[in-house]
Structure 1
Amino acid sequence: MGIGGVESVEVPKNRFSCRKESHLHTYMINDLINQMVEAGVHLGHQTRKWHPSMKKYLLKDKAGIHIINLEETEKCLDKACSFLADLARRNKKILFVGCKRQAQEAVREAAEATGQYYVNHRWLGGMLTNMSTIRKSIERLSYLEGIEKTPEFKSMSKKELAALDRERQKLERNLQGIRNMGGAPDAMVAIGADHEDIAIREAHRLNIPVCVLVDTNADPKEIDFPIPGNDDAVRSIRLVLDCIVKAINEGKGAPAEA
C-alpha cells in the first residue's frame, strides 16, 4: 500500500486514462501519486476555510491545513480523463477555463496542445448563455484587426486609433481562445470551482458537463467530474492539466466507435 493508501488495482484495458498507458498497474498509479505529492496537489486550504462537502476527499489535517487524499484525486482524475478522451475520440469540443493568475498560462498551453479552446483572462457573463452577443464581439475584434484596410482608417486621428487599439487588445485577451469555437462546447475543464463559478453555472444551464479542479474550500456537489486538489499552486495545476492533455490526445488518436 503506497502513499494515500493505494491498493493493488489493474486498470481495464478498454478504459482511457490519464496514466501513461491504459493498462498500467499499481506501481504506475503510485508513481503518479508521488508526482502529485511533489507538486503539492495534496495541500488544501486552512481547516477553518473548508467546505464540508469536501470531507470524503480529505485524508487529515496537519498544522491547520487540510490534506487531500491523493488516492481519491487519482480516481477522480482518471474518471475525468476517461470522459474527456472519449469526447476527443468523437471530435467533440472542449473548453478550458482558468482565469486566476496561477492558471492562465497553463490553461492556454493545454488548450493549444490539444487543439481545443480556452478562456484564461476574464470570463464575460454570457460567454455560453448569450453567444449571439459574444459572436458580435468576435466580429468587432476581426474588424479592429483589419482596420488598416478600411476606407475610414486614413481619416482617423492618432487618439482615435490608440483607443481602438486598446479595445482590440482587450477583446483579444478575452476572446482569442474561443473565437473559432463556433458554438457551445461539449465539455468544460475549469481550474477552481470558486473562482470560475460563473462559467460553471453557465455550463450547467446548457447541460454542458464540467471537469473541475476543486480545492478544499469549494463545493464539489454540482460538478460532474470533481478533481480534488490544490488549485492555487502552479505545479499542481500543470500536473493535472498535463494528465488531461495526454488523455485528450490519446483519445484523438483512437478510432471512433461505430
Structure 2
Amino acid sequence: MEVSVRELLEAGAHFGHQSSRWNPKMKKFIFEERNGIHIIDLQKTVNQFKTAVQFLAHCIEQGEAILMVGTKKQAKEIVKTAAQQCGAFWVTERWLGGTLTNLQTIRKSVGRFKEIEQMQADGTMAQLSKKESASLTRELHKLKKNLMGIREMDRKPGALFVIDPNREKIAVEEARRLGVPIVALIDTNCDPDKIDYPIACNDDAIRTISLLVTKVEEIILQARGMNKDKASNVEAQASQEIA
C-alpha cells in the first residue's frame, strides 16, 4: 500500500507552515518557499511513507501492537475510527502522563474503569443513592473518555504512530525514553531528529490526515491478513455478541 504524489497534492499535503515558523532541520524535506510558505517535497514524502508503513507492517507481523496518537481537533475522529477498524490502540483525548513510562499506574485506572462498568452492568449502581450513582457515572465518563483506547494495552506497544509530534511532545518523550519506535506525520515546524520514521506533510489538513491515516489502517489490516470488509464484519459480530 503506497501513496502517490498526485494523491498527496490533491489532499494539500505539500503546504507547510509560514517560512518564519520553520524548523531548519526540516530543510532537506522542503522543495521551495512560495509566497512565504514552505512547500514540502512530496516525492520524499512518498518514499518516507513507504518506509514507515513497511516498518508498521513488520511490527504487526511480529505480534506487536501499534498505539495511534492524535489529540488535535482535525485528527481525533480520523485516528479513533482507523484504530478501531484495524485493531490498534489509540489516544485521541488528553495524553495521560505515564501512559507508557508508568503503565502500571495507568492499568490501575483501567481496573477502576472496568470495576465501575461492572457495577453499572450488574445493577449495583442502581442500588446506590442518587448522589453516589451520579458520582460514579461522572467518574466512569471521565475514565472512558481518557482510557477507552488503551484499556487492553498491558505492555508497551511495538510502535507509536503520531499526528503532529509538536502537539504530542509528552507521548514522544515517553516513547523515546522506552525505546519505542515513532512514526509521525511531521510539518515544517517539527524536529525530524526525534522521530524514527518521519513523514513530511501538512499535519493540519484534514484531507492529508485522512488520506495517510486511512492508508496506515489498510496496511495494518493487510498485515493482519484482513481487509476492511472482513474487519467490519468481525466488529459487527463482536457488537452482536456483546448485545
Instruction: Give the structure-2-normalised TM-score.
Output: 0.88
- Structure 1 Cα separation of the partners of residues 34 and 188 of structure 2: 14
Structure 1 segment 42-191 matched on structure 2, within 5 A: 42-148=14-120, 149=122, 154=127, 156-191=128-163
- Structure 2 Cα separation of the partners of residues 69 and 83 of structure 1: 22
1:182-238 alpha-carbon deviations (Å, 9 max, x no partner) = 211011100001011110110111110000000111111121000101111111101
- Structure 2 Cα separation of the partners of residues 203 and 190 of structure 1: 11
1:253 maps to which of 212, 225, 228: 225
Matched, 1:203 2:172: no
- Structure 1 Cα separation of the partners of residues 130 and 35 of structure 2: 58
Residue matched to 2:12: 40
Shift of 1:113: 2.0
The alpha-carbon distance between structure 1 residues 241 and 157, as it changes in their structure 2 partners (threshold 3 A), is: same
Instruction: Identify the range of structure 1 (240-249 vs 58-67) with the bigger mean alpha-carbon deviation.
Output: 240-249
Matched residues, number:
225
- Structure 1 Cα separation of the partners of residues 57 and 125 of structure 2: 48
Name the Cα RMSD after superposition: 1.6
Matched, 1:239 2:211: yes
1:235-258 alpha-carbon deviations (Å, 9 max, x no partner) = 11011112212222222229xxxx
- Structure 2 Cα separation of the partners of residues 207 and 38 of structure 1: 35
- Structure 2 Cα separation of the partners of residues 242 and 65 of structure 1: 27
2:202 maps to which of 202, 216, 230: 230
CA contact (8 A) 2:125 2:133 kept: no
1:194 maps to which of 145, 152, 166: 166
For residue 18 of structure 2, what is the amino acid of its counterpart? Q
Q: Which has the higher helix share?
A: 2
1:89-130 alpha-carbon deviations (Å, 9 max, x no partner) = 222111101111111111112212211111111100000000
